[in-house]
Structure 1
Amino acid sequence: MILVALTSLFFTLIHSSFQYNETVYSRVKRIVGGETPNYPPFDDPVVYVRFSERSARIQGTREFPHYVFKGIKYAHPPIGPDRFLRPKQKILEGDIKAITFAPPCIQPVPGKNYIIGSEDCLALNIFTPDLPTGTEGLPVVVWIHGGGFRYGSASQYGVRHLVGQRLLVVTIQYRLGSLGFLSSGSKHLPGNAALWDMALAVQWVRNYIGFFGGNPHRIIVMGHDTGASSALLLSLNKVAKGMPDAVVAMSGTAVSRWSIDNTPTDTSHQIAMQNGCPTSNDVTMIKCLQKVPVQAIIKLDSQIEFQQLQSRGFVSGLNGRLGTAPVVEGVNDGRSLPGLIQQDPVDSLYKQDNPKIPLLTGVTKDETTKAVKGHFKSDVLKQLNSVPDFLNKLVKEGLYSSPVISKLSGKLDKLGNVSQSWITDGSKVLTELSDSYLPSNFQNYLKTQNNIVEKLNKVSEATADALFNVPAFLTAQLWKDAPTYLYSFEHAGNMARGWNFLQGLPLIGNSSNPEEDRNLVGHGDELAYLFDPQDMEGKPIRVSKPSKDDVKVRAFFTKMIADFARHGEFSVDNKKVPKFNAGDNNFVQIRAKPSLADKFKFCEMALWTNIAERLKSSYCQFLGAVPGVLPNLNVNKPLSIFGVG
């Protein structure tokens, strides 16, 4: 049964079988006073669908100014013997009332000792300004929420501002924590169940969205944080090749540090042992875990998160992942079924193996500052006061060891292109030069006055560069033969903050000192300019009244997303934004008065990724990169302070 369903999925991933019977299943036109109305009555949000020889009547609601269809199940419940496994496609049939949101996927409540949600949560919500009118349909944005793979729901995001730009928006749910990502590294439990949830949801959209007024051939996958890395992982996979038509990745990419779990067996064995399940045989372990009460698995996920924070320190919290995550499955999962992630995404981008579709990615101005000065402040201060030369140790031992940085460091030439010599010989590392070169430049990068405020600022800058700016920069540079755009969200206004959307993530900081936060633009703060914050059940959260500048920023940001979704490009001040250029590092600054800029973190990115020629330029002299230091250096080869190529 599973194989049949998966086979059907694989075929539909490549060839959409969208069907539409204009005579039988289109909306019945109503005659009022002898004239045909252009739109259906507000009180009649009913859609008729037909797919795979089965029909359904779906009733939604009218929530002015758009139509909403809530809680539509796209997969069968992943419970019992289907726990941890790939989802089974659900074909719509019969009468369906889509008038209430589905429960969120089961998860802990941050700061509370209880759990909310359900395992039976694989559902999506559809928001459209129009019901079908016979045109080609509206661009479709599929939203993947963030939350560190552990928190969040599709119902938290009010999408009226995007729908107001004449977009059809679909928000999806997927399994969280170990239920979505547990892996033993074997064919019996290959992992990535939640990514398969997302892939199936997007394919569901392609199959059905035309009946709701959307264009099944213009689907943009968009996400934030771990949702952003997931969106890019979906676009890089081979099974669903051609599924998204464009990608928007906000504050996260496929090469973010949290995007791949390289030691999944450790977590699966820990969860099994603490639930009394054997670990010597994967089949026996999985069958045992499928019978464990779901609350026990969620609580153990929380224990693992707490233990990792205690043992690994604040950098692990800033990483955005403290538990299970996507894994590299390989070409197949051991059962002749293709894996969704067939190779490390760093290698995929390094080999320029990206799909040729438009990409928009970006960051906020102060990604980690609120967490460094809030949630983790005491931990950071303790380290600064007790560990000699802490800033250098933080960079060398905590940040520069990132697989992204260590794999790609030095593999870019002075324009940021992938060195062709490294495509054929990527394993050699000039470790003998590392101690004499990179530390000297990081010494200048990390130089501060001897006061705690500047040191906290430097920790914020270094962690934001390593964990957010470098992945965004590298992704923009390595996404070849397709339009690519980079932005920096820099508006600090009165709108809702990241904690309204991302509760549970240590990265978002806290709201205990709003005066200190007033001029900061932290992780998740840009979300309020696209979405209205709602609770897990979809109820509005009271927020501050937007200022005039907030309204301007929201208008620009939503239009930017809409134009990108519709055309794969957008404008600033009626000027078409040029594609990202590795020589200029050009980007869009999103402010009350948005502008085009260049040299995005120009020297800092060259330092972190060791673009040696750029470091030697006069523009980057403040980093102390002296041209004569390395007279025989081939700038296309890496200098990793950890000796990792």
Structure 2
Amino acid sequence: MYATMLLVLLFTILINYNVESRSNRIRRIVGGIEADVAPYNVPVTYVNYGEKTATVHGLLTNSTYYSFRGLRYGQSPTGARRFQRPKKYILEGNYNATEYPPPCIQPEPGTGNIIGKEDCLFLNIFTPALPEGDKGLPVILWIHGGGFKYGSASQYGPKYLMKKDVVVVTIQYRLGTLGFLSAGSSDFPGNAGLSDIALAIEWTKNYIAFFGGNAKKITVMGQGTGGSCALLVAMSKLAKGIPRAVAAMSGTAISNWAIDKTPTETAKEVAAYQGCPVNNTVSMIKCMQKVDAAAIVKGDDHIESARLKNRGFLSGLSGLLGSSPAIEGVNDGRSLPGLIQRDPLEDMSAGRRPSIPLLTGTTRDETKRAVNDKFKEEIESQLKSIPGYINEVLVEELQTLTGLGLSNANYTNPFWSVLDPLNFRPYLQSASNSIVDSFSKVSEATTDALFNLPAFMTANLWSKNNTPTFMYRFNHSGMAPKGNRFLNGLPLVSSNITTDEDDTICHGDELAYLFEPLNLDGTPLKDSQISNQQDEVVRDIFTQTITDFAKDGQIYLHGRAVPAFTGDSNNFVEISSNPEISNKFRYCEMALWAGLGERLKDASCQAQNTLLGALGAPVAPLMNIPVQLGTGKMTNAQSIPFGTLEKIAAETLQEATM
């Protein structure tokens, strides 16, 4: 009997030794507190934080990575807590993390239905390995886009990124009026949704080590409005010191939609629709807290439709359709610090930003699909009914949206200015004056003004003082699912995608090269696996670029570090099946939109101006460019005679062929 017991004991020791040698998993020590180690290859982790312990059960997905779904990070923001900053949730007891959470309440596009719940402050954690040793893997915290109105944490499948040894955290936050209602005053500044994001970032820092992540290597990342949120929160005091790096795809803190310039007007529209007081903030909020959440969402839909009708297609492209983040004002010491205390452009210009690496970029044709589909009839009507619409109307409207010329008593923009629209004529002149060419110019102008310009300006300002800054342009059109599979309902994306647009790369089209598209509740989408060999190559390149940035705050190409963006060279990476490093990102076009007169004197811009001008458009002299801040109006522009342009163009062409 003793011999049998001895054999059993030896067998047990050998098994335990074998498990430990395979897994090397040890007790996690966070904040000086130990947490038990989970069994090898079992989707469970033990948490000990805030004087509370929890056992969190997840899933082992496809035998390749662990999923912990529907983890609550904030207490329910309902009832008296509606519109208020969220309160942290601490895990305790047995926690079942095997089901995706409900999305935040929102309209279901095309159906008139309302989906999701108001109690929605949850996140998902995906990790290729549970804690092994003390190091932990780099973490990507993903903030979904969707115009502050649509989207969830569960529609971004992580399987492609899981191959790159990073932990991925996908979060959700209150949307629409419930997340961003603001009276534009100190008694009700708004930004509840941004506060949700800040809390999710803090929660991740506190807990991620228990899930195999490194709390000191968190990269905050988002796309579209999610990219704007990533930068807004990274620049705030609420998240100070937590993000190690920030990545903003097709949206930054100075994108037109990032800040509601008229939050009081928006709040009054919202309250009036619900029959609530509009002239007393306290009465307004108390009333709005009693309105059914679904009714609030339907009100948001009504306001979006009305604004699209009254303000036109540019409001759809630029996101001016409802409640969004608002400037709260500098903290006066009577309450918690504001999340957005000043205009983000002012803060960036003054150097008030964290000195952490930034990666930002755009797709090649951000607005083209919406211009040629959803807003086609409206744009065609403008082109036909307004002579010179693109040069004489569209440019000035876009200049107003960029807000570069705006100034106030405390701040005047020192870097950028507004050129007279006359200078844009060579850039936007159509070679054939056909309607097809005109649509192409509308999409080019809106993509430059609403997407490329904010990305360029953000990279330019962030790179000052040698802060590592990197820029890309996504330049691959393949068979992978398009942006509408992630951003359904957003006016900027189109659901009518035809084979004629195979070479078009629009807003959100890069997402399927990082994530597997899923439904809002995390269930599979039909036909979401379509791709070809080139798609797989680009997916590997893009996921590697993103994960390299998360690991090192640096990106690489062909095994070599990519030079950082500088204000002089404007380095960027073209993401395609054959990626390359380029410079002078939209060099002359950005000079026009940002009012960089000196840059327009560059020989390449002068040649472009001269040759295009010969097509028949009068051009303002580039050596003496007129500027008037805030209006976009001409001050002292003069046209060059057509005969002179033709002569110069002929001479230039002759020189080019010699």
Could you tell me which residue of structure 1 aligns to residue 35 of structure 2?
none
Corresponding residue for 1:522? 506
Question: Is the Cα contact below 8 Å between 2:403 and 2:630 reproduced in 1?
Answer: no
Aligned-partner SS, 1:245: strand
Matches within 5 A, 1:166-565: 166-332=165-331, 335-407=334-406, 426=412, 438-448=420-430, 449-479=432-462, 480-481=464-465, 482-512=467-497, 514-541=498-525, 542-565=527-550
Equivalents in 1 of 2:428, 2:287: separation in Å?
50
Q: How many residues align?
A: 597
User: 2:277 and 2:551 mapped to 1: Cα distance?
Assistant: 52
8 Å contact from structure 1 (residues 30, 36) kept in 2: no
Is the contact made by 1:157 and 1:534 (CA closer than 8 Å) also made in structure 2? yes
User: Mind listing any 5+ residue stretches in structure 2 that lack a counterpart?
Assistant: 1-11, 24-37, 636-658
Structure 2: distance between partners of 1:325 and 1:198: 14
CA contact (8 A) 1:429 1:638 kept: no
What amino acid does structure 2 have at the position aligned with 1:530?
L
Which amino acid counterpart does residue 203 of structure 1 have in structure 2? E
Q: Greater relative contact order (Cα 8 A, min sep 6): structure 1 or 2?
A: 1
Deviates more, 1:606-615 or 1:483-492: 606-615
Q: Give the SS at the match of 2:458.
A: helix
Post-superposition shift, 1:396?
3.6
SS at match of 1:169: strand
Determine the C-alpha separation between the residues in 1 that align with 2:143 and 2:396: 32
Partner of 1:163: 162
The 8 Å contact of residues 184 and 282 in structure 1, kept in 2 or not, is answered as yes
**Deviation per residue, 1:49-103 (Å, 9 max, x gap):** 1111111111111102100000000011000010010001111111110110110
2:218 aligned counterpart, secondary structure: strand
1:602 alignment partner in structure 2: 587
Q: Which shows bigger deviation, 231-240 or 254-263?
A: 231-240
Q: Are the equivalent residues in 1 in contact too, given 2:80–2:289 (CA < 8 A)?
A: yes
Alpha-carbon distance, 1:566 to partner:
0.3
Contact between 2:406 and 2:630, CA under 8 Å: does it hold in 1? no
- What's the secondary structure of 1:406's corresponding residue? coil
State the secondary structure of the residue aligned to 2:243. coil
CA contact (8 A) 1:571 1:577 kept: yes
Distance verdict in 2 for CA 1:590–1:378, change over 3 Å: same
Q: Name whichever of 184-193 and 306-315 sits farther off.
A: 184-193
Pair 1:52-2:38 in alignment: no
Separation (CA, whole Å) in 1 of partners of 2:303 and 2:371 = 22
Q: Tell me, in whole angstroms, the C-alpha distance in 2 between the residues paired with 1:430 and 1:137.
A: 43
**Structure 2 counterpart of 1:140, one-letter code:** V
3-state SS in 2 of match to 1:402: helix
**d(CA) in 2 for partners of 1:274, 1:93:** 41
Change (3 A) 1:230 1:212: same
When normalised by structure 1's length, the TM-score is: 0.88
Give SS of 1:239's match.
Answer: helix
Equivalent of residue 641 in structure 1, options 619, 632, 639: 632
Distance 2:362 2:53 in 1: 43
Instruction: Give the distance between the partners of 2:557 and 2:68, measured in 1 at CA.
Output: 34
Does the CA contact (< 8 Å) of 1:161 and 1:558 recur in 2?
Answer: yes
Structure 2 equivalent of residue 11 of structure 1: none
CA distance in 1, matches of 2:13, 2:191: 47
Which secondary structure state, in structure 1, belongs to the residue aligned with residue 426 of structure 2?
helix
State the AA in 1 paired with 2:110: G
Q: 1:544: how far off?
A: 5.0
Q: Which residue of 1 aligns with 2:139?
A: 140
State the Cα deviation string for residues 289-314 of structure 1 (Å, max 9, x = none): 10111111000000000001001111
- SS of 1:405 mapped into structure 2: coil
Helix, strand or coil at the partner of 2:379: helix
Answering whether residue 551 of structure 2 is matched by residue 566 of structure 1, we say yes
Secondary structure in structure 1 of the residue aligned to 2:359: strand
Output the amino acid matched with 2:203.
W
- Please give the alpha-carbon distance, in whole angstroms, between the structure 2 residues aligned to 1:429 and 1:538: 44
Q: In the alignment, which of 568, 572, 582 is matched to residue 587 of structure 1?
A: 572
Q: Tell me, in whole angstroms, the C-alpha distance in 1 between the residues paired with 2:330 and 2:560.
A: 43
**Cα separation, 2, equivalents of 1:528 and 1:317:** 23
User: Structure 2 vs 1, CA of residues 245 and 132 (structure 1 numbering), >3 Å: closer, same or farther?
Assistant: same
Give distance in 2, aligned partners of 1:534 and 1:633: 50
Instruction: Flag the 1:289–1:55 CA change in 2: closer, same or farther, 3 A.
Output: same
Give the 3 Å change call, closer, same or farther, for CA 179–628 of structure 1 in structure 2: closer
Deviations 1:332-351 (A, max 9, x none): 27842210001100101111
Q: Tell me, what secondary structure is at the counterpart of 1:362?
A: strand
In structure 2, the partner of 1:122 is 121
**Rg (Cα) greater in structure:** 2
Query: RMSD of the alignment, in Å?
Result: 2.6
Q: Which amino acid aligns with 1:182?
A: L
Question: Structure 1 residues 354 and 201, CA, compared in 2 at 3 Å: closer, same or farther?
Answer: same
What are the superposed Cα offsets for residues 338-396 of structure 1, whole Å, 9 maximum, x if unpaired? 10001100101111222100000000010000010111111111111111211023434
* CA distance in structure 2 between the aligned counterparts of 1:627 and 1:113, rounded to whole angstroms: 49
What amino acid is aligned across from residue 142 of structure 1 in structure 2? L
CA distance in 1, matches of 2:207, 2:185: 34
CA deviations 1:624-644 (Å, max 9, x no partner) are 599994777799x96851599
Give structure 1 stretches of 5+ with no counterpart.
Answer: 1-28, 409-421
Instruction: State the Cα distance separating 1:429 from its structure 2 match.
Output: 12
Q: Is the 8 A contact 2:154 2:521 kept in 1?
A: yes
CA–CA separation in structure 2 for the residues paired with 1:578 and 1:224: 23
Residue 623 of structure 1: aligned partner: 609
- Given that 2:276 and 2:288 are in contact with CA atoms closer than 8 Å, whether structure 1 keeps it comes out as yes
**CA 1:490–1:642 in structure 2 vs 1: closer, same or farther (change >3 Å)?**
same
Tell me if the contact between 1:401 and 1:642 (Cα under 8 Å) persists in the aligned partners.
no
Instruction: Give the aligned partner of residue 419 of structure 1.
Output: none
